[in-house]
Amino acid sequence: MFRYIFRRAAWSVPTLMLVTFMVYIALRIGTNPVESYKRINPRATKEKIQEYIDINGLDPNYVKGYFTWLKNFLTGNWPRSIKGSREVWPALKDAMANTLRLGTVASVVGIFFGLITGVFAALKPGGRRDIFFTTSAFVGISVPPFISAILLQLLFAVYWQRWFGSSLFPTSGVYPAGHVGFNLFLMLKFMALPTIVVAIQIVAIYSRYMRSSLIEVLNSDYMRTARSKGISERRILFNHGMRNALIPLVTIAALDFGSIVGGLIITENIFSYPGMGLYFLKSFGEGDFPLLMPWMVVIVSSVLAFNLLADIAYAWLDPRIRLE
């Protein structure tokens, strides 16, 4: 087991390098960092431009440039943002913290309700409750997040204010302008709408998967064996049903990491929530190579880490998997 985890973890290093190399090339072609620099800093001298090229590893030769970038990245010699005004790490760190908070709350809420509705739907397939939950989940995955975001904003912020004098939830930011320090109540209030938008997607995804997975398990022979033992329905459902139904969901959780982050990016942008998504869209729009590359490294690492975690969890949950 440990050897397997170690080997998988070791493999993710070359994978990470390969993927970041591909991302590097894509960004070089797609955002043309040197031109972006010249555009944003029109009065930059030749030396300034050369300095920017050197520290960012923007050599015309992609391979050479990539390794320059990698060396600087690993040794902590991180360049400043394209305008030279911002340190990358503090900006990235704040964005990560904000997104992690939003993503975690939304995931916990979303997975919880998703699993519950999925189970209720699966217990009586074709029943009224099933049809309600299934249809809702279907609408949930069909409606893109920006639409639910717009409609929620319209309802709870704008029209609520018109009807009742003050808006129920604010539409942007983490704290009101000028606020300093930590305030849990304010933070939750500001997080409410974006959390709902992201959670809708998660509830819908998990509800559907949970339902089909559990229905398959409930129809299996070993459930009949369990029932023939005369044990309580609750024990049958949890100890035999859920225990098996959750196994495939683990893989799905890892695969859907990307789509959840995607939803976060969109949501953050609409609510001006200063997280990874807003960070990305802003720096991508400006062709800010020094900000973009570390962001990509974080995302690629998380994708790989989630896949690894899913594999480990899968093996842990399912004794049939032998890790050799």
Partner 1 sequence: MKNKVLEIRNLHVTFDTPSGPLEAVRGVDLDVAEGELVGVVGESGSGKSVTFLAAMGLLPSMARVTGSVLLEGEQLIGYTPKQMRSVRGRLMSMIFQDPLSALNPVHRIGAQVAEMLQSHQHLTNKQANIRAVELLDIVGIPQPEERARQFPHEFSGGMRQRVVIAIAIANSPKLLIADEPTTALDVTVQAQIFEVIERIQSHFKTAVVLITHDLGVIARFADRVDVMYAGRNVEQGTVDNLFEHPSHPYTRGLLASLPRPGKARLLPIRGFPPNMVAPPTGCAFRTRCDFAEVICEENIPELQPFGDLLTACVRANELPKVWA
Partner 2 sequence: MPGSTQGFDLNDKIESTYSPRQMALRRFMANKAAVVSCFILGALTLFVVLAPFTARYGVNEAVQVPPNSFLTPRTQAWLGTDDIGRDLYSRLIYGVRVSLLIGLASGLISVTLGALVGAVAGFRGGKFDDIMMRVTDLFLAFPFLVSLLVVRNVLGALTWLRPITGDMSSVRFIIFLFGIFGWMGVARIVRGQVLSLKEREFVEAARAVGASRRYIIIRHLLPNSVGPIMVALTFSIVGAIIGESTLAFFGYGPQAGDGATSLGILVGTAKGAVLTGFWWLAVFPCMALTVIALSINFIGDALRDATDPRLDRGAK
> Which residues of the shown chain bind partner 1 in the complex (CB under 8 A)?
220-222, 224-233, 239-240, 243-244, 247, 317-320
Q: Which is nearer to partner 1, 122 or 204 (CB)?
A: 122
- Indicate the SS3 state at residue 18: helix
Residue type, 193: L
Q: Considering beta carbons, is residue 16 or 49 the nearer one to partner 2? A: 16
**What is the smallest separation between the CB atom of 37 and partner 2, expressed in angstroms?**
16
Minimum separation from the CB atom of position 129 to partner 2 (A): 13
**CB of 28 or CB of 211, closer to partner 1:** 211
Q: How far apart are alpha carbons 295 and 195 in whole angstroms?
A: 22
Structure tokens at 9: 């973890």
233 binds, among partner 2, partner 1, none (CB under 5 to 8 A by kind): partner 1
Burial of 230 (0-12, 13-18, 19+ CB in 10 A): exposed
Cα–Cα distance, 32 to 22 (Å, whole number) = 15
On the 0-12 / 13-18 / 19+ scale of CB atoms within 10 A, 36 is middle
Report what 244 binds from partner 1, partner 2, none; CB cut-off 5-8 Å by kind: partner 1
Shortest distance in whole angstroms from residue 219 CB to partner 2: 5
Closer residue to partner 1 in complex, CB, 211/240? 240
- To partner 1, the closest distance from the beta carbon of 236 in angstroms equals 10
Whole-number minimum distance, CB 172 to partner 1, in Å? 46
Select 84 or 296, whichever has its Cβ closest to partner 2. 296
Q: Which of partner 1, partner 2, none does residue 142 bind to, with CB < 5 to 8 Å depending on kind?
A: partner 2
Question: Cα separation of 70 and 296, whole Å?
Answer: 13
Q: Residue 104 CB, nearest distance to partner 2 (Å)? A: 17
Smaller CB separation from partner 2, 187 or 223: 223
**Contacted by 19, from partner 2, partner 1, none: CB < 5 to 8 Å by type:** partner 2
CA distance 103 to 125: 31
DSSP letter for each residue of 83-126? TS---HHHHHHHHHHHHHHHHHHHHHHHHHHHHHHHHHHHHSTT
What is the crossing angle of helices 184-218 and 243-255, to 10°?
Answer: 120
307 binds, among partner 1, partner 2, none (CB under 5 to 8 A by kind): partner 2
Tokens of 230: 């005369």
In sequence order, the 6+-apart residues with CB closer than 8 A to the CB of 181 are none
Q: What's the rounded Cα separation, in Å, for the pair 317 and 306?
A: 16
Which chain residues interact with partner 2 by CB under 8 A? 19, 23, 26-27, 29-32, 125-126, 135, 138-139, 141-144, 146-147, 150-151, 153-154, 157-159, 162, 171, 212, 215-216, 218-219, 221, 223-224, 254-255, 257-259, 261-262, 265-266, 269-270, 280-281, 284, 299-300, 303, 306-307
User: Is 132 or 316 the residue whose CB approaches partner 1 more closely?
Assistant: 316
Nearest to partner 2 of 26, 321 (CB atom): 26
For residue 170, give the nearest of 189, 152, 188, 155 by alpha carbon.
189
Residue 229 contact, options partner 1, partner 2, none, Cβ 5-8 Å cut-off depending on partner type = partner 1
Choosing among partner 2, partner 1, none, which partner's interface includes residue 281 (Cβ < 5 to 8 Å by kind)?
partner 2
User: Tell me, what amino acid is at 163?
Assistant: W
- Residue 95's contacts (CB-CB under 8 Å, 6 or more residues apart) are 274, 275, 276, 278, 279
